[in-house]
Structures are given as C-alpha cells and as structure tokens.
Structure 1
Amino acid sequence: MGFHTFDSDRADALEDAARRYRYCSREELHALVAPNPEMRLADIGSGTGFYTDDLAPHVGTAYAVDIQAAMHDRYREKGVPDGVELVEAAAADLPFDADELDTVVSTMTFHEFADPAALAEVARVLRPGGRLVTVDWDRAGAGEAGPPREETYGLGDAVSLQTDAGFTVEHAASRPETFVCVARLDD
C-alpha cells in the first residue's frame, strides 16, 4: 500500500469541527483515551492539532507528532496550547525513549503511516501496558468521505498489524465510514 499524507494546502479543512466530529467526537475520543493528568500522550499525524487540542488540557504532556513541518506551522498560527510539544517525525522513527509514553493516538491518520516498522516503533516508545487508540477510515466504509478506499485499511488488517507488533486488542469496531481500535501493549 502506498502511503500519502494529507495535503497541507488543505489544512483549513482539518479545523472543520462539524465534519471532524461527525466521525470522531471529542466525547468519544475522551472515552477511548481516558486521559489523566499524569499521562504522556503522542498524537501521531496531529496535523493542525485539532484532536490534540481536545486532549492536551487533560494530560500531563501531549506531543503533536507530524511529518509535515507545514502542519506545525499552521498549528503555531492557530496557537499551540500549554503542555503541547510539537514533534516533526515519521511514525517509523519517533524521537522518544523506549517506554516513554503512556498512550499513542491516531485519528484519521493510521492509513498514512501504518506498516510493520511504524507499529514496532510505536510499541517501542509505549510503556508496557500502554495503549494505542486508533480511529481511521475503514476500507469497508461507504467511501462518502476520507481518502480513496484503496489507501486505507480494513479493520481486520489494522488489528493484524497491531497484534503482530505485540498489542492485544481490547476493543475493535467498524462503523459506516470508520473503524475504532483500542489496543494495549503486552507486558
């Protein structure tokens, strides 16, 4: 599967709350992540920080990780909240120590980076028992929104990638356009 990144020239679309929350609301994200003041969290593929902003006030440290410097530039223009650190990196080469993070989140970006190397890297930086929370476009979805379906994963493929990387899937579900998967790194 060839990976693409979201066109930074269209970054304003990432701030469209009505559209974004249609597929993953703030409340759903909070229920999946269960943020707490001690949590060290990385949002991989953070873009302009739309979902990072929802989590940052409720965690100890939030890292907004994106491979595109232009996305961080847009985030700076919008205003980066206290407690958020911008990290320019690919998911397969994260600049965190082993076991440094409690949670990694990917909202609508898993299809942009997920492969065995990237999932192994996510597993490396998560502490034992740490969680990977994924909401992404489902290849089995109706195709009315999101990227072309051939650029996405089905839920089963996403689950397989995560279990192969040492995660135990605690919750996985398909919805009309997206899937959600919550996985815990094996101890």
Structure 2
Amino acid sequence: MGFHTFDSDRADKLEDAATRYRYCSREELHALLAPDPGMRVADLGSGTGFYTDDLAPHVGTAYAVDVQAEMHDRYREKGVPDGVELVEADAADLPFGDGELDAAVSTMTFHEFADPEAMAEVARVLRPGGRLVTVDWDRAGAGEAGPPREETYALGDAVALQTDAGFAIERAASRPETFVCVARLDD
C-alpha cells in the first residue's frame, strides 16, 4: 500500500467539526478511550489537533504526533492548549521510551502510517495493558467520503496488523464508511 499524508494546504478541512464528528464524535472517542487525568496519550497523525483538543482537558499529557511540521504550525496558529506537547515524528519512529504511554489514538489516520514496523513501534511505547483506539476509513465502506478506498485498510487487515504486533482486540466493528477498533497491548 502506498502511504500518503493529508495535504497540509487543505488543513482547514481538519477543523470542520460537523464533518469530523459525523465519523467520530468527541463523545465516541471518549467512550472508546476512557481518558483519565493521569494518562499520557499520543494522538497519532494529529494534524491540526482537532481531536487532541478534545482529549487534552481529560488526560495528564496529550502528545500531538504528526510527521508534517506544517500541521504543527497550523496547530500553533489556532492555539495549543495546556497539557499538549507537539511531537514531529513518524509512527514507525516515535521518540518515547519503552512503555511510556498509557494509550494512543488514531482518528482517520491509520491508513496513512500503519504497517508492521509502525505497529511494533506503537506497541513498544505503550505500557502493558495500554490501549490503541483506531477509527479510520474502511476499505469496505461506501466510498462517499475519505481517501480513495485502495489507500485504506479493511477492518480485518487492520485487526491483523494490530494482533501481529501483540495487541488483543477488545472491540472491532465496521460502519457505513469507517471502522472502529479498540486494542489492548497484552500484559
């Protein structure tokens, strides 16, 4: 699969709440993650920080991880809240120690970075029992929104990548355009 990143020239679209929440609402993300004030959470492919902003008031530290410096520039322009640290990194080379994070989330970005190396790296930085929450465009979806379907994963392929990296799947479901997967790193 050829990986791509979201065009930073279109970053304003990442702040469109009506569209973004149609596919993953703040409430759903919170229900999937169950944030608490002591958590250290990485938002993988954070872009302009749309979902990072939703998590930041409810966790100890939210790391906005993006490979594109331009996305962090946009985030700085809109204002980075307290408790958020910007991290410029590829998901396959995260600058965190072994077991440093309690959780990671990927909202509509899994297809941009996921491969065996990235999944192994995410597993490395999560503590035993740490969660990975993924909501992404489903290859089996209707194709009315999101990237071209050949650039996405089917739910089964996403689950396989995660289980191969040592995650146990707690929840996996397809929806009309997207899938949701909640995985826990084996203890």
Shorter-chain TM-score bucket reads over 0.9
Distance in 2 of aligned mates of 1:55 and 1:85: 12
Alignment of 1:92-103 (within 5 A): 92-103=92-103
Aligned length: 187
**Structure 1: distance between partners of 2:150 and 2:60:** 37
Written as runs of structure 1 = structure 2, the 5 A alignment for 1:20-31 is: 20-31=20-31
Cα deviation, 1:115-134, whole Å, max 9, x if unaligned, reads 00000000000000000000
Where does residue 184 of structure 1 map in the other structure? 184
Aligned to 1:13: 13
- Residue in structure 2 matched with residue 107 of structure 1 by the alignment: 107
Amino acid at match of 1:32: L
SS of equivalent to 2:128: strand
Amino acid at match of 1:91: A
CA distance in 2, matches of 1:26, 1:127: 24
Return the alpha-carbon distance in structure 2 between the equivalents of residues 123 and 103 of structure 1.
10
Q: Which residue of 1 aligns with 2:164?
A: 164
Provide, for residues 142-183 of structure 1, a one-character-per-residue CA deviation record: whole Å limited to 9, x for no partner. 000000000000000000000000000000000000000000
**Structure 1 stretches lacking a partner, 5+ long:** none
- Write the distance in 2 (CA, Å) between the matches of 1:124 and 1:30: 23
TM-score (norm 1): 1.00
Name the structure 1 match of 2:116: 116
Q: Secondary structure at the residue paired with 1:99?
A: coil
Q: Which amino acid aligns with 2:23?
A: Y
* Distance (whole Å) between structure 1 residues aligned to residue 148 and residue 8 of structure 2: 17
What residue is the counterpart of 1:87 in the other structure?
87
Gaps of 5+ in 2: none
Identity of aligned residues (%): 88
Partner of 2:70: 70
Match of 1:176, SS state, is coil
Instruction: Give the root-mean-square deviation of aligned CA atoms.
Output: 0.2
Q: What one-letter code is carried by the residue in structure 2 that aligns with 1:80? A: V
Q: Secondary structure at the match of 1:72?
A: helix
Q: Where does residue 39 of structure 1 map in the other structure?
A: 39
Deviation of 1:107 (Å): 0.2
Separation in 1, partners of 2:166, 2:17: 34
Amino acid paired to 1:42:
A
User: 1:183 & 1:68 partners in 2: Cα distance?
Assistant: 26
**SS of alignment partner, residue 132 of structure 1:** strand
Secondary structure at 1:168's aligned position in 2? strand
2:42 maps to amino acid: A
